[in-house]
Structure 1
Amino acid sequence: MPTVEVTDLKDGDFLLDVREDDEWRAGHAEGALHIPVSEFVARYGELTQAAPQDGPVHVICRSGGRSAQVTMYLVQQGVDAVNVDGGMQVWQSAGRPVVTDDGAPGFVL
């Protein structure tokens, strides 16, 4: 499965967060698109409208398990997608910003 390390992500890379609503509200990467894994198939069209045409979709969850499932689904659909290894736990540990919807500092639930 295509995988990327948090430290290899650059500002402006397209990030898809597939965690559930309560996890997202606690804190997320600024600018990420949020589609919970439990709603992913029904909301797939939102991703196709928002995803870049010239770069990969970086899929993230809390630790990498749910995002791996979504990444495999996307790859099967012909989408250039990669799983973010270690998820938001590693994102936060690496000192990357975690924010709430209003821009305040957040945390990984």
Structure 2
Amino acid sequence: MIRLLSSLLLLIISAGTAFGQTKITASEAAKIFEKNKKVQLLDVRTQKEYTDKHIANSVNLDWNQKTEFEEGLLSKFNKKSPVYVYCLSGGRSAQAAKNLVERGFTVYEIEGGILKWEAANLPLEKSLSQTPKGLTLKQFKALTKDDQMVLVDFHASWCGPCKEMEPFIKQVAEKHKGKVKVLKIDVDENNTLTKQLGITSIPVLYLYKGGKRIWKHTGFADLKTIEKQLN
């Protein structure tokens, strides 16, 4: 009888792991991601949290934005492959993981989220330099007067095209390090400045050289468009 109960318990645990959600440590997850760059990795925090820092190659779907979460899940994730999910410390990812399991996904939840990931000294993708809130026109001019070219990205967290451009801006900062300095200005946090500069829509890119603006682009810009101005 004891042997039978043990076998049944093992069967239940195995089934739960295969068809449900499994928790893995940050270190275990990092080893998997290092070997496979194409894993389905889901970050369920807010857009702002994600922009500040996130695990490389992750997709951000805010768990608290139910409609967007549902739509993004259907369009960006495949049930045939496992999904690795994380948040800041584990609360939201646990809820999201349960939801995914109910939908038929195989889920691996990263224990402790970003906090445990950082504690293990694992790498994170971090945002480009954000300007302070309430930047004055004088301060702005001082920041754009530099020996390097200065690319200014006027954006907002709610702006779809801004989010699409973010990877391009990051590539520019990395590729042209030492030649181009990138400044990201949140228009909601710098309302007075953007009014003084006459910015009425976003995204907007300004390129400065020696304190003088040499290029302005309003609306979405792909990497090729930006690179053309830098070269």
The 5 Å alignment of 1:1-109 reads 1-9=21-29, 10-11=32-33, 12=37, 13-39=39-65, 41-43=66-68, 44-99=70-125, 100=127, 102=170
What's the counterpart of residue 225 of structure 2? none
How high is the TM-score relative to the length of structure 2?
0.41
Larger Rg computed on CA atoms: 2
Give the aligned length.
Answer: 103
Structure number having the greater helix percentage: 2
Deviation, 1:20, is 1.1
Q: Deviations over 1:59-80 (max 9, x none)?
A: 1000011100000011011111
Between stretches 93-102 and 12-21, larger displacement belongs to 93-102
Gaps of 5+ in 2: 1-20, 128-165, 174-231
Identity value in percent: 27
Contact 2:100 2:107 in 1 (8 A): yes
After superposition, the CA RMSD in angstroms is 1.9
How high is the TM-score relative to the length of structure 1?
0.81
Deviation, 1:98, is 1.2
